[in-house]
Amino acid sequence: MDGVFRRKVVSADFDAATGRAINVKCDDGKGGSIAPCSAAPDVFLGVFDPKTEGAFSATATLWKRLRVYGLVDFKLGNKHIDNNRRALCQVFLRCDENFNPQNYDPILIAEIQQNNITQNWVANDASFLKLRELSANYMIPRSLTRWVGGRDATIGVTARNLHTWTNWTGLDPEAYFVTQLFTRLEQDQTPQLASVMFNLNITF
């Protein structure tokens, strides 16, 4: 099941005296009408799998010896559930929205205060563009390679997962697990780690 279905608050007011959202109504799934959230159905919010994905790569050789390579990939148009944020705001009550609700949209405050009845606020955009790899390899002159009895040699460095451009609210849009209900959650997942590797290759 790829679709993300959750209840969605569509209107609310903020009561400054109590710090609570009031007059909260949800999408009733019937073309924009509203209903009490306790009786509202789940509505379609998006899909878990990317609608579009791809990659761009380029290779250049400089001064006949230095080979430079770069790879950027992307996934667009999908959503995941940011369960870290849900736990922080609804379970432990440690979000700024809990302490200063007057500074936020009443609809967001209503969803946080709905005690997990609605999850539209944590079904967030997981699209990303990632600088996946950069590498540089230098072909060592054969006059130097012969000193160790070799024919050709290269020395290089490769860096991976250098930067992610995304609106995802969690640590990494690629870090998630699938629950028994086929929901994709990020919670306590290790994000993609940046790494740097050095290599020396000698052909004898």
SS (H, E, C) 48-110: CCCCEEEEEEEEEEECCCEEEEEEEEEEECCEEEEHHHHHHHHHCCCCHHHHCHHHCCHHHHH
Write down the mean pLDDT value for the chain.
92
Structure confidence by residue, pLDDT tens digits, 9-56: 999 999 999 999 999 999 988 876 788 888 899 999 999 999 999 999
Hey, what amino acid is at 4? Answer: V
| 176-198 tens-digit pLDDT | 888 766 678 888 888 889 999 99
Task: Read off the pLDDT of residues 60-98 as tens digits, 9 standing for 90 and up.
Answer: 999 999 999 999 999 999 999 999 999 999 999 999 999
Question: Which range of residues forms the domain containing residue 149?
Answer: 3-203
Q: What pTM does this model have?
A: 0.85
Report how many domains make up the chain.
1
Distance from CA of residue 191 to its chain's centroid? 9
pLDDT of residue 35: 83
Residue 90 DSSP class: I
Confidence class of residue 1 from pLDDT cuts 50, 70 and 90?
Answer: low
